[in-house]
Structure 1
Amino acid sequence: MPNPSALQRAWSRIEPWLADNAPADHASLRPPANATDIHRLESALEIHTIHPDVIELLKTHDGADDRYPTVYQPGAGRFIPSRYRFLSTHEICERANGMNRQLAEDDPDSTMVGYYWHPRWVPIAQETTTCLLFIDHRPGPTYGAVGELIEGDHAYLAKWPSLAELLTRIADSIEHDAPLGRYTPQPTGGRGVSNQRRIC
């Protein structure tokens, strides 16, 4: 049996912690995506090969449901810092196609490609607004990196060198009650994880 990847090792730490400390977050995790789901996603995005980390993530869980949201409190499933929630294959396709259409309409001369948005950015998580985390699929040194698109800013922000690194950092943070950037995950009585901001 092959050795587990860094991404698999991180998930094997995150899931038991969620089950014990944030059962609503754990329950929000969807079943794995199947080969048909992933093939349909690759065809829709016109990216011949989606990064292996994204495939592995989707084969582990096809995103997370946004459970029990209210006006004042985001739902469970948002255990990524800044209240991000992993997207399903269907949601990834919707968000990517929507951003690509918006880019084509707002930037017909392609002067904002790679700043406003890029067709080879694949969204993997969304915040409570329209902020996105995405995996960069452009060839070069940023291939596979996790970027962030901030609502109203539309500037590429490199956040983590890989999805495996992001998950490893989340696992370290929740296991040791340690800050991840400006946030520290805190269980909220079984409802989910609240990423409490720490002033730096």
Structure 2
Amino acid sequence: MTISVAWERIETWLRNNAPASHASLPGPAPVADIRTAHTQIGRSLPTELADSLQCHNGSGNFVLPVYHRFSDLHLIAREYQSYLRAEEAMRRRALERHRSAPSQTALLPQGEYYYWNPAWIPFAYDESGNSLFISQADDDTFGRIGTHDKEDGPSFPDNPVFTSLPHLLDEVAQALSNGVFQIWGEWEPVVDDGLLEWQEPELESDGVWDLPPLGPDPQS
């Protein structure tokens, strides 16, 4: 499924079931602004991310499972630059320690990073300072989605959801229709006052997952 088709399915579900989330979706990013972001971060955005930004420049109140929101172009550039500064600061401190105790402090091998690889492009964030990124590294992570924890740094989860951005959006669209998303456990889409939320399914006393129906009751 293409980025645009996945977004169309998501938009349709939000329009019919979570109108407040749908109304909050930003418009597309102008192509000129995407080119400016290329310049600001010093490299081209991944094609699939540029395609998504040309559908919506961010996500407003639309939340990805479980708590992430899409970043707009301004935030992508700002976070990328911030992460690079953190990486450079760590390298300087490591070099200083190595110079003072070369026999006790080893430096990272060439091509490895403490905190942030310049070939990673952040595209989504949560409210705790963590992010999702797309790898453009010239290795087996190319195109994959990684998670970046502000304390523990980067990782590449094994969940197939993280195969690529088109795959992630496709899985979100499927989850909205099917009522369950498999990521760090099971999550279901729930609408509260017109806004989409993701919650763990409630477990009934007999041990069966209680999944309430989504959207308007067809019998009403």
Q: Provide TM-score, normalisation by structure 2.
A: 0.76
Which structure 1 residue ranges, 5 or more long, are not aligned? 66-75
What residue number does 1:161 align with? 163
Q: 2:13 aligns with which of 10, 13, 17?
A: 17
What residue number does 2:191 align with? 187
- Confirm or deny: 8 A CA contact 1:170 1:180 kept in the other structure: no
What residue number does 1:147 align with? 146
1:91 aligns with 2:75: yes
The offset of 1:151, in angstroms, is: 2.9
The offset of 1:114, in angstroms, is: 4.2
Matches of 2:199 and 2:7, distance apart in 1: 22
Change (3 A) 1:104 1:115: closer
Letter in 1 for 2:108: T
What residue number does 2:50 align with? 55
Deviations 1:149-173 (A, max 9, x none): 1232113224511100000000110
What residue number does 1:70 align with? none
SS at match of 2:21: helix
Matches of 1:127 and 1:13, distance apart in 2: 23
SS at match of 1:148: strand
Larger radius of gyration: 2
Which structure 2 residue ranges, 5 or more long, are not aligned? 96-106, 204-220
What residue number does 1:68 align with? none
Identity across matched positions, percent: 27
Deviations 1:45-96 (A, max 9, x none): 111x32110110011111123xxxxxxxxxx33x201211101101100111
Q: 1:175 aligns with which of 166, 174, 177?
A: 177
Matches of 1:185 and 1:133, distance apart in 2: 20
Q: Which moved more, 1:110-119 or 1:99-108?
A: 110-119
Cα RMSD of the aligned pairs, angstroms, is: 2.1
- Confirm or deny: 8 A CA contact 2:83 2:115 kept in the other structure: no
Matches of 1:193 and 1:61, distance apart in 2: 17
- Confirm or deny: 8 A CA contact 2:27 2:57 kept in the other structure: yes
Following TM superposition, where does structure 1 have runs of at least 4 consecutive aligned residues deviating by more than 6 angstroms? none
Matches of 1:27 and 1:114, distance apart in 2: 40
Matches of 2:38 and 2:140, distance apart in 1: 22
